[in-house]
A and B are shown apart, each in its own frame.
Chain A
Amino acid sequence: MKVTKTTLLASAVAAVAGGAMAEEMTIVSWGGAYSKSQLKAYHEPYSEKTGVTILNDDSSAEAVAKLRAMNEAGNITWDVVDVVAADAIRLCDEGLAMEIDPEVHLAAAPDGTSAADDFGDMLVSECYIPTIVYSTTFGYRTDLVGDTPPTSVCAVFDTDAYPGKRALEKRPINNMEWALICDGVPKDQVYDVLETSEGQDQALAKLATIKDDVIWWSSGSDTPQLLADGEIVMGSTYNGRLFSLIEEQNQPVGMLWDAQVFDLDGFIIPAGLSEERQQRALDYIFFASDTQRLADQAKWISYGPARSSSAPLVSQHAELGIDMAPHMPTDPENAKNTFLYNFEFWADYRDDIDAKFQAWLAQ
Chain B
Amino acid sequence: MLVAPLLLFVLFSFIVPIASMLFRSVENGIVQDTLPLTVEALQNWDETTGELPDEAVYDAFVRDMIVAIDNKTHTRLGSRLNYEETGMSSMFRRSGRKLGKMDPETDGPFKDQVIEIHDGWGDPNTWAVIKTHSPAVTNGYFLNAVDMRRTPEGAQSQPEDKQILIKLFGRTLFMSLVITGSCILLAYPVSYLLANLPMRVSNLLMILVLLPFWTSLLVRTSAWKVMLQQQGVINETLVWLGLVADDARLVIINNQIGTIVAMTHILLPFMILPMYSVMQTIPPTYTRAAKSMGATNWTTFWRIYFPQSIPGIGAGSILVFILAIGYYITPEIVGGTKGVFISNRIAYHISSSLNWGLAAALGTILLAVVMLLYWCYDKIVGIDNVKLG
Contact = CB atoms under 8 A, between A and B. Distances in A.
Contact of B79 (A90, A215, A355): A90
B299 interface: no
B288 interface: no
A68 B79 CA distance: 14
Contact of A351 (B72, B86, B230): B86
Given A94-B354, A216-B337, A349-B86, A360 B76 contact: no
Contacts of B336: 215-216
A230 B231 CA distance: 7
A362 B353 contact: no
Contacts of A359: 161-164, 167
Interface in B132-191: 158, 161-164, 167-168, 171
Nearest to B171: A362
Contacts of A215: 254, 336
A65 interface: yes
Interface string A59-95: 0011011001000000000000000000000101111
B75 interface: yes
A358 B164 contact: yes
A93 B337 contact: no
Interface in B337-362: 337-338, 340, 345, 348, 350-356
B93 interface: yes
A350 B90 contact: no
A94 B161 contact: no
Contacts of A247: none
Nearest to B254: A215
Contacts of B158: 355
Contact of A170 (B78, B167, B168, B337): B337
Query: Number of contact residues on B: which range applies?
Result: 35 or more
B327 interface: no
B89 A348 contact: yes
Nearest to B222: A225
B309 interface: no
Contacts of B87: 348-349
B83 interface: yes
Interface string B80-96: 00110011111001000
A277 to B, nearest CB: 20
Interface string A336-363: 0000000010011111101110111110
Contacts of A355: 158, 162, 164
B231 A229 contact: yes
Contacts of B86: 348-349, 351-352
A343 B2 CA distance: 57
A352 B292 CA distance: 70
B254 A93 contact: no
Nearest to A361: B337
B202 interface: no
Contacts of A358: 164, 345
A231 interface: yes
A344 B78 CA distance: 13
A230 B246 CA distance: 14
A218 interface: yes
Query: Number of contact residues on A: which range applies?
Result: 20 to 34
Interface in A173-215: 201, 215
A356 B351 contact: no
B354 A360 contact: no
Contact of B167 (A62, A95, A362): A362
Give the interface SS of chain A, mostly helix, strand, loop or mixed: helix
B229 interface: yes
Contact of A94 (B79, B162, B229, B338): B79
A354 B230 CA distance: 29
Contacts of A349: 86-87
Contacts of A61: 351
A170 B161 CA distance: 17
Interface in B72-117: 72-73, 75-76, 78-79, 82-83, 86-90, 93
A158 to B, nearest CB: 19
Contacts of A94: 75-76, 79, 354
B78 A93 contact: yes
A233 to B, nearest CB: 12
B79 A356 contact: no
Q: Which interface residue of B158, B351, B356 has the most chain A CB atoms within 10 A?
A: B351
Interface in B223-250: 229-232
B162 A231 contact: no
A65 B76 contact: no
B332 interface: yes
A231 B338 CA distance: 19
Nearest to A95: B72
Given A65-B350, A361-B337, A229 B229 contact: yes
Contact of B168 (A351, A352, A362): A362
B344 to A, nearest CB: 9
B92 to A, nearest CB: 8
A64 B356 CA distance: 12
B79 A93 contact: yes
Contacts of B75: 92-95
A165 B78 CA distance: 40
A62 B356 CA distance: 14
A208 to B, nearest CB: 12
Contact of B89 (A93, A201, A356): A93
Given A94-B79, A344-B90, A360-B161, A68 B354 contact: yes
B83 A351 contact: yes
A231 B337 CA distance: 17
B254 A90 contact: no
Contacts of A64: 351-352, 354
Contacts of A65: 350-351, 354
Nearest to B168: A362
Nearest to A349: B86
A362 B230 contact: no
A62 B336 CA distance: 21
Interface in A88-130: 90, 92-95
Q: Which interface residue of A92, A93, A229 has the most chain B CB atoms within 10 A?
A: A93
A351 B353 contact: yes
A348 B332 CA distance: 26
5 contacts: A64-B351, A65-B354, A93-B89, A165-B230, A349-B86
Interface of A: 61-62, 64-65, 68, 90, 92-95, 165, 170, 201, 215-216, 218, 229-231, 344, 347-352, 354-356, 358-362
Closest 10 CB pairs of A and B: A93-B75, A359-B164, A352-B86, A361-B337, A65-B351, A355-B162, A348-B90, A95-B72, A93-B79, A348-B89
Given A64-B351, A95-B76, A170-B337, 16 more contacts: A64-B354, A90-B79, A95-B73, A201-B161, A215-B254, A215-B336, A216-B254, A216-B337, A218-B332, A347-B90, A348-B86, A351-B82, A351-B353, A356-B161, A358-B345, A362-B338
